[in-house]
Amino acid sequence: MATTGSGRDPSRAGALLVSAAFLAVGAAVLALAAGWIPGDPRAFAAPRWVVGCMGVMFFVAGLLPLGALFKLPSWFDPLVGLVVASTFATVINWVAFFPGERHFSGRLSVLWLRQSAATGATSGRIMFGLGAVRADLLVLNALWRIVRGRGKH
C-alpha cells in the first residue's frame, strides 16, 4: 500500500474521515429527532421518527468503512447494508404512502432548455411510490441473500 511522507496510509485515513463524518451527521440528526438538540418542531417537514430513520441511515453507513479497516466478520457489511437500505426505503415509503401534505418540485431539461415548476402532490407521490416499491424489492432481495447465504457457511 502507498503511504504518505509521514508513513500513514491515505486510504485508511480517508476511510476514517468518511466514517467519522457519517457517524457525526447521523448522531446529530438522531439527537435532533430525539429532542436532545433543541429545535422548533414546526420546522420539521416530517415526523420525528422519519428524521430519526435518516439519522440511523447516516450513522450506520458510517460503520461500513470501519468494517473494511478492522476486518470485521463477513456478516457485518451485508447487515449494515440491509439496515441502511431499510431505513432509506422507510423514508421513501413515508413520502409516497403515508397521509399528510407533501410539496414537490420538478425540473425538465432538454438540451439547453430548462423548466422548473412546482408539481402536484399526486405526481410526486406516484414518482416516490415507484421508487419506494423498487427500494422495498431491493431490501427484500438483500434480506433473502443474507438468509440464503447463512445456510452455506
67 contact partners, CB below 8 Å, separation of at least 6:
76, 77, 80
Q: Which residue has the higher pLDDT, 64 or 117?
A: 64
The pLDDT score that the predictor gives to residue 101 is 81
In this prediction the pTM is 0.78
- The helix/strand count (H/E) of the chain reads as 5, 2
Cell numbers given for 93: 415509503
Q: How confident is the model at residue 5 (pLDDT cuts 50, 70, 90)?
A: very low
Are the C-beta atoms of 65 and 19 separated by less than 8 Å? yes
Q: How confident is the model at residue 9 (pLDDT cuts 50, 70, 90)?
A: low
